[in-house]
Structure 1
Amino acid sequence: MPNTQTPYDPVDTEALRCLRDSFDTREILRIVDLVDTIRTRLCEPEGIRDDLLQLHGTAHTVLNGASLVSGAANPGLVEQAESILEELEDLIRVLQHAVHVLRPLELLRPSDDA
């Protein structure tokens, strides 16, 4: 199958034709928004990073007998772990969706015989 030269690099002609008819580039911008949301949830105060540090302290106390580092009023070990697992699973689903949306762009790889 022939390739088509673009301003960036050659791409597979047939894949280009198909994607021009079916791929919505606005989806990439939607993924950017999702990544921004993920970044905020991971890193901001009260984010997953802080949740994991709190979970570590709780687990370290419960499993290793370490001194109590956070108040006993905090959620229990299992509740903390379940909450973090649920959040991480949600983030994985979002990232899997992003992979699914972007995967068709791989079809543009030019054929070697052109």
Structure 2
Amino acid sequence: MPNTQTPYGPVDTDALRCLQDSFDTREILRIVDRIDAMRTRFCDPAGIRDDLLQLHGMAHTVVNGARLVSGATNPALVEQAEAVVEELDDVIRLLQRAVQALRPLETLRPTGDA
């Protein structure tokens, strides 16, 4: 199986032909959009980072017996943990879908490369 030289290095010719017929490069841009939305959710002032810090404070008080640093607020500890876990599960699913969408590009590895 021959390789094809491209501006970005050699690729497997048969895999290239297959992907030219089936791979939608726009999916990469859709992944970028999803990552941007995720980044916003992680970094916003009311984002996952702050949710985790709030959860840490709550858990530290309840589990370790630390003194209450701020007043008890809604949601309850369990509700906060469930919300964070659910959101992180969503992130994991999104990243798994991104990996699956990009995996076909790995088939372009030129023959003869380890």
State the TM-score, normalizing by the size of structure 1.
Answer: 0.96
Deviates more, 1:34-43 or 1:62-71: 62-71
- Helix, strand or coil for the counterpart of 1:45? coil
- Distance in 2, matches of 1:107 and 1:76, equals 48
Mapped pair 1:106 → 2:106: yes
Unaligned segments of structure 1, at least 5 residues: none
- Which string of whole-angstrom CA distances, capped at 9 and with x for unpartnered residues, describes residues 29-79 of structure 1? 000001101111111110000000000000000011111123212211111
Out of 61-70 and 33-42, give the one that drifted further.
Answer: 61-70
| 1:31 matched residue in structure 2 | 31
2:80 matches 1:80: yes
Q: 2 CA distance for matches of 1:94 and 1:69?
A: 35
Which amino acid letter does the alignment assign opposite residue 8 of structure 2?
Answer: Y
Between 1:45-54 and 1:71-80, the stretch displaced more is 71-80
Matching of residue 60 in structure 1 with residue 63 in structure 2: no
Number of corresponding residues: 113
Q: Which runs of 5+ in 2 are unaligned?
A: none
Percent identity, please: 76
| RMSD, aligned CA | 1.0
Structure 1 runs (4+) deviating above 3 angstroms are none
Which moved further from structure 2: 97-106 or 70-79? 70-79
TM-score by length of 2: 0.96
